Amino acid sequence: MVVCIEVELGLFVRINSEGKWVCPVPILLRDHPDFLDRDSNIECGSPFELDDYVIETSIAKHGVLGCVNNSYAEAICHAVGRSWKARNSDKIAIMKALGFDDLANAVR
């Protein structure tokens, strides 16, 4: 499962049940019962792009499964900021998209 964290650039991160990936942010089932089966993790260390065709095909087939609760936005920004794999330009774009311009300015 993936979640879009920056719409303009089409940046996504994975959601998985294991926290062994780079810069995981734990998310709770109780906050996301519409699309999680168990407590999970957002893997914030390696944002990636998905082709528009892949996105449109998935939405046509499955719909939008849900949204990550806004209470996780700051933790996601901090995790992305710690990543040694993410490009600085992607970090800045993600932080701005999630409403944390102050953290984005720290990355520059």
**107 falls in which pLDDT band (50, 70, 90)?**
confident
pLDDT beyond 80 at 32: yes
Q: Give the DSSP per-residue string, 9-57.
A: TTEEEEEES---SSSEEEE-GGG-TTT-SS-EEEEEEEEEE--HHHHHH
If residue 62 lies in a helix (H) or strand (E), which one and from where to where?
helix 52-62
**66-97: pLDDT as tens digits:** 999 999 999 999 999 999 999 999 999 999 99
What pLDDT sits at residue 76? Answer: 96
pLDDT beyond 80 at 108: no
The model carries a pTM of: 0.89
The neighbouring-strand residues paired with 48 are 12
Rounded percentage of the chain residues whose pLDDT exceeds 90: 81
